[in-house]
């Protein structure tokens, strides 16, 4: 293991700067207790970059990210930029950095911790014990296809192309099989093969790749059925793999199984160990600057960063255990609190986790 790592920090918009600042405090505790040095290079992305640089993804930001060992991102977006043209929307920065860094796989674990069962809007018996992983293809599909707006016979028309090639599908399917092999050896490939030609190609490639993984059980499910089953019986799933747009929707749905989208971390990976890590919850502009944002998804994203990009498995375990221990003690931010009058803010929750993390790291 190296003794020094460079981490690109992209706070972004809304609550992004608050939760990223909190995450740096977690990383600082890890550094102090392990002797590993983290250096940080900051860059702009999203709406703040549009305001300052005229683009959602400045070349300097992409350079900073490419020179780092890993990237930690807060969130992008907000109503201020909702009326901008597509290439000047904050989300274009996210799509651009994923493409620019070759990050083709987005991992979104959804785990129901026992102490949060009551925070879910679903019945406890439905969500208790949920532990699944959504693997979303990240650089293909309709989000990256050609987009057109034109007038035909006096009527305005919009087109979005959904394109996948065999190689793009195969690499995400193989990664998903490898992930499933390390978990419960069950993989559900989600598509819309009854309607879409791209999904029929997807299913065909998945069937071919499955022959190389006889120890993993693979099933197929249509995306509408999967959306229903995630709510009806989520514990039937171990690993779900799907294309870009379906994965965007299903992973957000899976997040709510855990009690709050504020609890869901993500890792965007390519070939090798490099990755970009971010919470799934978005920029939450309605609470930005109020000090009430839930930083736990960002802390869990830090754990993924430590594990996947830096090979610091023990430190990653310690961060996760610190989060669970704090929740077990009953500490809650407003989004996961049954009694919101007892909720703590971002700063206090961070202090609780950093304190618990010290205990976890000194015990190892």
d(C-alpha 333, C-alpha 207), whole Å: 44
Mean pLDDT value of segment 192-196? 98
> What does the pLDDT look like over 227-253, one tens digit per residue?
999 999 999 999 999 999 999 999 988
d(C-alpha 88, C-alpha 80), whole Å: 12
> What does the pLDDT look like over 130-152, one tens digit per residue?
999 999 999 999 999 999 999 99
Residue 340 pLDDT grade (very low, low, confident, very high; cuts 50, 70, 90) = confident
Instruction: Give yes or no: 143 in active site.
Output: yes
Among candidate residues 53, 131, 252, 317, the one labeled active-site is 252
Among candidate residues 248, 277, 335, 352, the one labeled active-site is 248
Q: Are 188 and 133 in contact (CB under 8 A)?
A: no
β 239-242/4-12 pair status: unpaired
Residue 18 pLDDT grade (very low, low, confident, very high; cuts 50, 70, 90) = very high
The burial of 272, by beta-carbon neighbours within 10 Å (0-12 exposed, 13-18 middle, 19 or more buried), is given as exposed
Which residues lie across from 267 on neighbouring strands? 107, 277
d(C-alpha 209, C-alpha 54), whole Å: 43
> What does the pLDDT look like over 77-126, one tens digit per residue?
999 999 999 899 999 999 999 999 999 999 999 998 888 888 788 888 99
Among candidate residues 13, 192, 277, 352, the one labeled active-site is 192
| Whether pLDDT at 61 is above 90 | yes
For 355, the token pair is 């304190």
Give residues with Cβ within 8 angstroms of 77, minimum separation 6: 13, 14, 46, 47, 89, 90, 91, 282, 283, 285
Q: Are 295 and 19 in contact (CB under 8 A)?
A: yes
The reported pLDDT for the residue numbered 257 is 85
Torsion 202-205-211-216 (CA) sign: negative
> What does the pLDDT look like over 153-176, one tens digit per residue?
999 999 999 999 999 999 999 999
For 71, the token pair is 């990237």
Instruction: Give yes or no: 192 in active site.
Output: yes
Query: CA 12, 278, 342: angle at the middle one, nearest 5?
Result: 90
For 159, the token pair is 């087109």
For 157, the token pair is 């028309």
Q: Are 139 and 103 in contact (CB under 8 A)?
A: yes
Instruction: Give yes or no: 248 in active site.
Output: yes
Instruction: Give yes or no: 252 in active site.
Output: yes
Tell which residue, 305, 237, 302, has the closest CA to residue 269.
Answer: 305
CB atoms under 10 Å from CB of 151, counted, come to: 8
Among candidate residues 5, 143, 164, 277, the one labeled active-site is 143
Beta-strand runs (E) in 155-230: 155-160, 186-191, 217-222
Scanning the structure block, which residue is given the tokens 């703040």?
Answer: 48
The reported pLDDT for the residue numbered 202 is 98
The burial of 187, by beta-carbon neighbours within 10 Å (0-12 exposed, 13-18 middle, 19 or more buried), is given as buried
Tell which residue, 327, 337, 293, has the closest CA to residue 74.
Answer: 293
| Whether pLDDT at 313 is above 70 | yes
- Which domains, from first to last, does the chain contain? 1-104+270-364 (3.40.718.10), 110-260 (3.40.718.10)
d(C-alpha 140, C-alpha 248), whole Å: 12
Instruction: Give yes or no: 131 in active site.
Output: no
d(C-alpha 46, C-alpha 18), whole Å: 16
**Above pLDDT 70, what percent of the chain?**
99
Among candidate residues 160, 224, 286, 313, the one labeled active-site is 224
Please give the mean pLDDT across all residues of the chain: 94
Q: Are 337 and 343 in contact (CB under 8 A)?
A: yes
The burial of 241, by beta-carbon neighbours within 10 Å (0-12 exposed, 13-18 middle, 19 or more buried), is given as buried
């Amino acid at each position: 293991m190296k003794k020094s790592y460079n981490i690109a920090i992209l706070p972004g918009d809304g609550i992004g700067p608050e939760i990223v600042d909190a995450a740096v405090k977690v990383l600082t505790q890890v550094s102090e207790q392990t002797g590993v040095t983290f250096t940080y290079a900051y860059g702009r992305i999203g709406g703040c970059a549009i305001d300052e640089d005229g683009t959602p993804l400045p070349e300097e930001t992409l350079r900073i990210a490419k020179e780092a060992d890993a990237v930690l991102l807060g969130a992008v977006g907000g109503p201020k930029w909702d009326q901008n043209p597509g290439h000047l929307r904050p989300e274009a920065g996210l799509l651009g950095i994923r493409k620019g860094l070759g990050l083709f796989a987005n991992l979104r674990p959804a785990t129901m911790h026992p102490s949060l069962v009551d925070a879910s809007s679903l019945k406890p018996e439905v969500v208790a014990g949920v532990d699944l992983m959504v693997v979303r293809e990240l650089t293909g599909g309709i989000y990256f296809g050609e987009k057109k707006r034109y007038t035909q016979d006096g009527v305005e028309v919009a087109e979005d192309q959904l394109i996948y090639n065999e190689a793009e599908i195969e690499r995400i399917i193989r990664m998903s099989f490898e992930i499933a092999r390390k978990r419960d050896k069950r993989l559900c490939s989600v598509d819309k093969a009854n309607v879409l030609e791209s999904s029929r190609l997807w299913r065909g490639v998945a069937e071919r790749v499955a022959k190389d993984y006889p120890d993993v059980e693979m099933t197929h499910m249509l995306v509408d059925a999967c959306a229903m089953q995630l709510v009806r019986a989520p514990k039937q799933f171990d690993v779900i793999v799907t294309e870009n747009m379906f994965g965007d929707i299903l992973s957000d749905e899976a997040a709510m199984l855990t009690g709050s989208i504020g609890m869901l971390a993500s890792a965007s990976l390519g070939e090798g160990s490099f990755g970009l890590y971010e919470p799934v919850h978005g920029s939450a502009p309605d609470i930005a600057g109020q000090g009430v944002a839930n930083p736990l998804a960002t802390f869990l994203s830090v754990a993924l960063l430590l594990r996947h990009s830096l090979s610091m498995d023990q430190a990653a375990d310690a961060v996760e255990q610190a989060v669970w221990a704090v929740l077990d003690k009953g500490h809650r931010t407003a989004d996961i609190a049954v009694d919101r009058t007892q909720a703590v803010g971002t700063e206090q929750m961070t202090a609780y986790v950093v304190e618990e993390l010290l205990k976890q790291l000194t015990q190892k």
